[in-house]
């Protein structure tokens, strides 16, 4: 049946209301789904693409000694904004990520989660391979910046993709599982760096092979990811209700096959204001305005704390007098905690309010970080490094789910891009800040800076963050 239109060709208000109500009803059908193998498989396939996003971000710290050895970059420079140092490489990465998240975060909202995620994987693979072939610092930093743009688009897409495909009672566990798969890249990057960075293979420096391995792997995952459907919630919000309904019917049929019984009736639809179409302008109205400000502050500070440790682990260990080879080995042990943290979080991600998990984990980073800055025993440093990683991953699991669920479907990726871009600025700034603190005050000074950032994180989320566990996306956006 032809849609009723106004004189200028736009849908009528009645038709708009009908589409909105149909989208809400479809969302209610999804929220009553039980947790099934089919849903876990969808999350797994999306997460495999995210594996290489994390691989790309994590290997920065591990390949730093190799790039320094090759003469491309230096660990520290005399200037605060020293672009020829490792801080410049980190800054180029997060400058690209900022462009991808802030400037291009609207792409998944306009063209779909699935299409943009596929494009971003190809973007990352090609540009990262080109970067690995550079022999001068200018080309290296330029292609690192371009690679970061692709990764930035992918980051905001993943969180919304996972959030929209699973029912309300699964969001915390789904994001924890997503992070477990993604952060399995951390020990992979660490062990490859341990094997390859100190050596040359086939006449090519080891750090280049570490970069190329991630680039090649992302191409393979691109084909695997073709099995993942578009987000039904996104399709419904863009008036493609037939396609959305077909996907949800397949999900419902899979759930009935696995459970062996009929599904319960759909949950009651959450009432929405008439003619409601979320827009960027509405993000500056209550309740979204306070959420935006709170998450921007949070993302900026948590990024300094998180990447201030994760990206500088080998260098910080060397600062304690540990050799390059041993620092890479110890870093691998610490990196094992990265996927272990989200795996543990699956047990409590939907049981404890996410905002309080973030606050508690930030406090743990402060305590363990202060001890890391003071001790010298290698075993104690590794244990504390593992504990810091576990706490950092708890923050990561919770806030990736948290910030995705606080905004409406139609602008979820763009809103995520805005708040997440603050973490890109923080992480970009962290390279220069950590290098400065390390040079002036040593490892204790680094963790003093991280402590200040974690205090702000605790205040922002603890005092201003809303509760979200177990609430439906439509209810949170009402």
| pLDDT under 70: residue ranges of the chain | 1-20, 73-85, 269-280, 310-315, 318-328, 331, 478
DSSP lists the bridge partners of residue 5 as 11
First to last CA, the chain: 31
The pLDDT value given to residue 424: 77
Residue 353, by phi and psi: left (phi above 0), alpha (psi -120 to 50) or beta? beta
Distance CA(54)–CA(57), nearest Å, equals: 5
State the number of CA atoms in the 13 A half-sphere of 338 facing the CB: 28
CA-CA distance, 426 to 404, in Å (whole number)? 19
CA–CA separation, 14 vs 401, rounded Å? 34
What's the pLDDT score for residue 362?
94
Nearest to 458 by CA among 349, 354, 353, 363: 363
Tokens 């979820």 identify what position? Answer: 412
Find out whether 407 and 415 touch, Cβ atoms under 8 Å: yes
The 10 Å Cβ neighbour count of residue 260 is 6
At residue 85, the 3 state secondary structure works out as: strand
- Give pLDDT, residue 79: 45
**Token pair for residue 101?**
């998240």
Q: List, for residues 86-118, the tens digit of each pLDDT value.
A: 778 878 888 898 899 889 999 999 999 999 998
For 335, residues 6+ apart whose C-beta sits below 8 A from its C-beta are 58, 186, 187, 189, 190, 313, 389
Query: 204: which strand partners?
Result: 201
Burial class (CB in 10 A: 0-12, 13-18, 19+), 149: buried
Of 251, 337, 274, which Cα lies nearest the Cα of 38?
251
Encoded tokens for 473: 């996306």
∠ Cα 372 75 187 (to 5°): 55
- In our burial notation (b when 16+ CB lie closer than 10 A, e otherwise), range 153-187 reads bbbbbbbbbbbbbbbbbbbbbbbbbbbbbbbbbbb
The 10s digit of each residue's pLDDT in 367-381 is 988 888 777 788 888
Cis peptide before 287 (omega within 30 of 0): yes
Measuring CA to CA, how many Å separate 322 from each of 283, 329, 330, 380?
A: 49, 11, 9, 13
What is the DSSP pairing of strand 204-205 with strand 200-201? antiparallel
Residue 58: both structure tokens together: 């994590």
CA atoms of 368 and 378, how far apart (whole Å): 15
Rg of the chain in Å (alpha carbons): 23
Determine how many CB atoms are found less than 10 A away from the CB of residue 264: 9
pLDDT of residue 271: 60
| Separation between Cα atoms, residue 163 and residue 416, nearest integer Å | 12
pLDDT value, residue 210: 92
Q: For residues 380 and 361, what is the distance between their CA atoms, to the nearest angstrom?
A: 20
């Amino acid at each position: 049946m032809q849609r009723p239109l106004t004189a200028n060709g736009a849908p009528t208000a009645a038709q708009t209301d009908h589409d909105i109500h149909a989208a809400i009803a479809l969302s209610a059908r999804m929220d009553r789904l039980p947790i099934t193998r089919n849903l876990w498989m969808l999350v797994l396939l999306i997460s495999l693409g995210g594996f290489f996003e994390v691989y790309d971000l994590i290997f920065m710290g591990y390949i730093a000694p190799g790039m320094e050895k090759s003469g491309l970059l230096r660990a520290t420079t005399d200037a605060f904004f020293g672009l020829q140092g490792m801080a410049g490489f980190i800054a180029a990465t997060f400058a690209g990520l900022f462009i991808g998240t802030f400037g291009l975060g609207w792409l998944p909202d306009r063209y779909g989660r699935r299409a943009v995620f596929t494009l971003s994987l190809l973007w990352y693979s090609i540009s990262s391979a080109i970067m690995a072939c550079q022999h001068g610092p200018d080309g290296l930093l330029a292609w690192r910046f371009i690679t970061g743009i692709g990764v930035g688009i992918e980051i905001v897409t993943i969180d919304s993709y996972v959030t929209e495909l699973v029912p309300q009672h699964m969001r915390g566990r789904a994001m924890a599982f997503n992070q477990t798969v993604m952060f399995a890249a951390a020990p992979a990057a660490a062990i490859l760096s341990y094997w390859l960075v100190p050596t040359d293979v086939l006449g090519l420096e080891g750090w280049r092979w570490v970069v190329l391995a991630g680039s090649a792997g992302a191409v393979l995952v691109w084909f695997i990811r073709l099995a993942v459907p578009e987000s039904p919630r996104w399709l419904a919000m863009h008036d493609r209700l037939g396609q959305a309904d077909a996907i949800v019917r397949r999900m419902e049929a899979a759930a009935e096959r696995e459970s062996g019984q009929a599904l319960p009736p759909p949950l009651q639809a959450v009432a929405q204001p008439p003619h409601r179409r979320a827009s960027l302008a509405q993000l500056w109205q209550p309740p979204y305005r306070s959420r935006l400000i709170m998450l921007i502050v949070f993302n900026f500070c948590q990024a300094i704390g998180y990447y201030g440790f994760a990206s500088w682990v080998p260098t910080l260990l060397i600062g304690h007098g540990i050799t390059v080879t041993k620092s890479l080995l110890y870093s691998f042990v610490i990196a094992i905690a990265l996927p272990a943290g989200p795996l543990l979080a699956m047990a409590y991600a939907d049981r404890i309010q996410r905002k309080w998990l973030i606050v508690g984990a930030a406090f743990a980073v402060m305590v363990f970080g202060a001890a890391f800055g003071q001790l010298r025993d290698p075993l104690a440093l590794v244990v504390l490094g593992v504990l810091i990683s576990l706490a950092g991953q708890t923050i990561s699991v919770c806030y990736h789910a948290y910030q995705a669920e606080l905004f409406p479907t139609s602008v979820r990726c763009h809103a995520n891009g805005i708040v997440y871009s603050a973490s890109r600025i923080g992480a970009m700034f962290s390279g220069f800040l950590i290098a400065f603190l390390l040079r002036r005050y040593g490892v204790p000074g680094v963790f003093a800076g991280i402590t200040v950032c974690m205090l702000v994180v605790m205040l922002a989320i603890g005092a201003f963050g809303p509760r979200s566990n177990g609430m439906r996306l439509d209810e949170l956006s009402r």
